[in-house]
Amino acid sequence: MVLIRGNILKSKSTKQRTLHVAPEPVTNLHFVTDAAGTRVTLFATTTAQTMVFDTSGSKSEPAVLEERGCGIGCSLMNEEDELIVARDEAIYTYTVDGRGPCFAFDAPKVLLRRFKHYLLLATAAPSSMAPNLANGDDRPPVDATESRVYSYNDPTTFTILDTKNKLVAYTGVVPGGVRGVATEWGSIFVLGGHGTMDFFSEKDLLERLDILYRQNLYPLAVKMAQNGNYDMASVAGIYKRYGDWLYSKDDFDSAMLQYVQTIGVVEPSYIIRKYLDAQRLNNLTSYLQELHTAGMATSDHTTLLLNCYTKLRDEERLNQFIHTQEDYQFDVDTAIHVCRQAGFYEQALYLADKFSKTGMYLKLKIEDQDDIKAALEYMRKLGDTDISAYLAEFGRRCLGSLPSETTELLVDVCLNGMDVRAAAATADDMHDDMSAPYADTTSLLSMRRIQH
């Protein structure tokens, strides 16, 4: 390989130097210029090596990227200035720093070309190729176990690989072999050995998506739409299609994973109704949680989520939810009622205390937990007027369980300046309640005072 510098047509003299002497034939050469236009890099392949040269410097020794090469016409440069090399077992990418990802595609390669984000491949054997183009790992695939010499007139399989969406866009046999490939006017032209000319044009995105829908290839449809710069609403529509299809197959868990992707676009009631009808509370709970995480939940959604937690007896997630909410966008009374009805008293007490629902808090303590002592201690923290009202409501139950402590609280309130009439009325009511079960028997006794 000899590098010649200068304008061959106009300059009288040029500079040249030998870059490399290879014992095997050189099959491909590709120049790449950096963004500043100051550094020119040469990628070269032989039948046995893949190399790169820095032609801007004085160093002529190549950096060997791999001790394997490729055939004539089986390499090219892509838009990212990466070298693409097609070998029999796979398609490899290289940069100046070394080898990058590879794509498994096992077939003897004859020709490699590029069109937009498509790779155009001619392979010398009728192809039994994998249906999708999958990313390989860093290890090279296993070499083909058998090879033979192919005639120039043998049929050639022509394949179009969509590297962006990782799929085979087309594959077919060209009788007489591929003689040439041209990409002009937004189309692909393939010249066949029997004088045929095949013409390929790209379908618009809607047509391609419709084909994928008919084959239920929804993950590919989503990827294609995203790569086609579809807006969020359109992509969410594909996720909804995918979720509906999975739901129709009774794959409720997988369907929910798709429906979650539609949050913010598809009306939540559409999904909620499906899973309520199917009695799939675990899936419904997951969806409602994601609604809250996305900030799209209403008070009705929160109430429904609390109902799901209580019906599932999922105390851990219920605690996590009510203790981590920053903006409680739900009806607190309803939430307390839901927790109380399901027997989650601690959670109901937490909400009642946090939102100053004093009457409900005392009901929970006295009527549900029978914790009169805690209720009396809670009343002591209230204002005098409030204590009077709550003693009037709960005094009978408190006196029945803890008469001394209840009387002491009433006395303390009176001494601390509470409305005397309210306190007296409260005391009279309590006195009537306490004395009613006992008859007045003082007339049955005689009393005589003895003075000394």
Burial class (CB in 10 A: 0-12, 13-18, 19+), 61: exposed
What's the CA gap between 294 and 109, in Å, rounded? 49
The predicted pLDDT at position 91 comes to 93
**pLDDT given for residue 152 in this prediction:** 58
Percent of the chain having pLDDT more than 90?
Answer: 31
Q: For 24-42, write each residue's pLDDT tens digit.
A: 999 999 999 887 777 888 9
- 272 vs 197, 249, 281, 285, CA distance in Å? 55, 18, 10, 10
Q: How confident is the model at residue 257 (pLDDT cuts 50, 70, 90)?
A: very high
Higher pLDDT, 8 or 50: 50
Would you state the pLDDT for residue 125?
59
Banded model confidence at residue 150, pLDDT cuts 50, 70, 90: low
Q: Are 382 and 359 in contact (CB under 8 A)?
A: no
- pLDDT over threshold 70, residue 182: yes
pLDDT tens profile 301-332: 888 998 898 888 888 888 888 887 766 666 78
**pLDDT in the model for residue 419:** 46
In the structure, what pLDDT confidence band is assigned to residue 135 with cuts at 50, 70 and 90?
very low
pLDDT at 253: 93
Q: What is the mean pLDDT of residues 287-314?
A: 88
Phi first, then psi, for residue 150 (nearest 5°) are: -100, 140
Residue 259 scores a pLDDT above 90: yes
How do residues 97-109 score in pLDDT, each as one tens digit? 889 888 888 888 9
- For residue 60, pLDDT over 80 is answered with no
Average pLDDT, the chain: 81
Phi then psi for residue 245, to 5 deg, are -65, -45
In SS3 terms, the chain reads as CEEEECCCCCCCCCEEEECCCCCCCEEEEEEEECCCCCCEEEEEEECCCEEEEECCCCCCCCEEEECCCCCCCCEEECCCCCEEEECCCEEEEEECCEEEEEEECCCCEEEEEEECCEEEEEECCCCCCCCCCCECCCCCCCCCCCCCCCCCCCCEEEEEEECCCCEEEEEEEECCCEEEEEEECCEEEEEECCCCEEEEECCCHHHHHHHHHHCCCHHHHHHHHHHCCCCHHHHHHHHHHHHHHHHHCCCHHHHHHHHHCCCCCCCHHHHHHHHHHCCCHHHHHHHHHHHHHCCCCCHHHHHHHHHHHHHHCCHHHHHHHHHHCCCCCCCHHHHHHHHHHCCCHHHHHHHHHHCCCHHHHHHHHHHHCCCHHHHHHHHCCCCHHHHHHHHHHHHHHHHHHCHHHHHHHHHHHHHCCCCHHHHHHHHHHHHHHHHCCCCCCHHHCCCCCCCC
Better-scored residue on pLDDT, 120 or 396: 120
- pLDDT value at 128 more than 70: no
Q: Give the pLDDT mean for 292-296.
A: 85
pLDDT digits (tens, 9 = 90+) for 354-380: 888 888 888 888 888 888 888 888 888
324 vs 133, more confident: 324
Q: Say if residue 276's pLDDT is above 60.
A: yes
Q: What confidence tier does 416 reach under pLDDT thresholds 50, 70, 90? A: low
